[in-house]
Amino acid sequence: MMNKPSLREMKKEATAHALAEAAFELTLERGLDNFVVEDVVQRAGYSRRTFANHFSCKEAAVAMAAHPYQGIEEFFDLIHQMPETTPPIDALYQFVKMQLAEQSLRRMRQLFTLCKEYPTLEPYTLAVINSLQKETQKLMTDLYRETHALPYIYLLVGAIFAAIIPMLDGTLHVLLPGQSAEEAPGAESFEHLLETAFGYLRQGF
């Protein structure tokens, strides 16, 4: 049974998001090497102590900007509208579509691009993606632990993230939502990639 996040958890997430946004903006404006934590907290309006409660360094804050800031409140509402017989793959599809909206995808790809310029960012960015995968696994497990085996849930989530990451790091040539075809000639659309990945899972490969 899923529990909605508490007000305290939501405020904590909002604070981390504000700090991450400030760090990300400074990276785009000045470059990773040309600002310090003090610049981040001043822009976000928090103290250094608050920053230390959330992040170990500025790289960790920058990378957290890759995490979609939408929580699961909207997903709770969506789940309540679905029939109780909704299979895990359909629930996962809706959740991925909700989390990986246009802005989130663009932000993630920007961060992977920044990792090529600033290699110290890469482990933190990958850690955030891994954290997002684990959160998705937990969410799906909470929903379906009584009806489906854990390996099945982990397989579904893992397979979708395995398809998404090459698109983010540039291995796959994919056109993001909101991009024009002129920006990425010959690229496959993100929607098509997602439909193809879920299609394989539904058909059992």
H helix or E strand, kind and range, residue 142: helix 122-144
Which of 43, 64, 85 is the last residue before a domain boundary? 64
Whether 100 and 173 map to the same domain: the answer is yes
Confidence at residue 106, expressed as pLDDT on a 0 to 100 scale: 87
pTM (predicted TM-score) = 0.84
| Segment of 7-16, 60-69, 93-102 carrying the highest mean pLDDT | 60-69
Whether 36 and 104 map to the same domain: the answer is no
Mean pLDDT of the residues in the chain: 88
Confidence at residue 204, expressed as pLDDT on a 0 to 100 scale: 76
Confidence at residue 5, expressed as pLDDT on a 0 to 100 scale: 61
Give the CATH number of the domain where residue 16 resides. 1.10.10
* Residues in contact with 199: Cβ distance below 8 Å, sequence separation at least 6, in sequence order: none
Is the pLDDT assigned to residue 158 strictly greater than 80?
A: yes
Whether 170 and 86 map to the same domain: the answer is yes
Whether 76 and 10 map to the same domain: the answer is no
**Residue 75 pLDDT level (bands cut at 50, 70, 90):** low
Residue 71, phi-psi category: left (phi > 0), alpha (psi -120 to 50), beta (remainder): left
Whether 44 and 73 map to the same domain: the answer is no
Which of 49, 64, 79 is the last residue before a domain boundary? 64
Domain containing residue 133: 66-205
Is the pLDDT assigned to residue 134 strictly greater than 80?
A: yes
Confidence at residue 182, expressed as pLDDT on a 0 to 100 scale: 82
- 7 versus 23: the higher-pLDDT residue is 23
Give the CATH number of the domain where residue 191 resides. 1.10.357
**Residue 20 pLDDT level (bands cut at 50, 70, 90):** very high
Whether 113 and 205 map to the same domain: the answer is yes
Whether 99 and 131 map to the same domain: the answer is yes
Number of domains in the chain: 2
Instruction: State the Cα–Cα distance between residues 107 and 118, nearest whole angstrom.
Output: 16
Confidence at residue 57, expressed as pLDDT on a 0 to 100 scale: 97
Residue 174 contacts residue 190 (beta carbons within 8 Å) = yes
3-state secondary structure of 32: helix
Whether 52 and 106 map to the same domain: the answer is no
Whether 97 and 23 map to the same domain: the answer is no
| Segment of 68-72, 168-172, 179-183 carrying the highest mean pLDDT | 168-172
- 50 versus 79: the higher-pLDDT residue is 50
pLDDT > 70: what percent of the chain?
92
pLDDT > 90: what percent of the chain?
52
Whether 76 and 174 map to the same domain: the answer is yes
Confidence at residue 135, expressed as pLDDT on a 0 to 100 scale: 87
Which of 41, 64, 87 is the last residue before a domain boundary? 64
Whether 183 and 130 map to the same domain: the answer is yes
Is the pLDDT assigned to residue 10 strictly greater than 90?
A: no
Whether 94 and 184 map to the same domain: the answer is yes
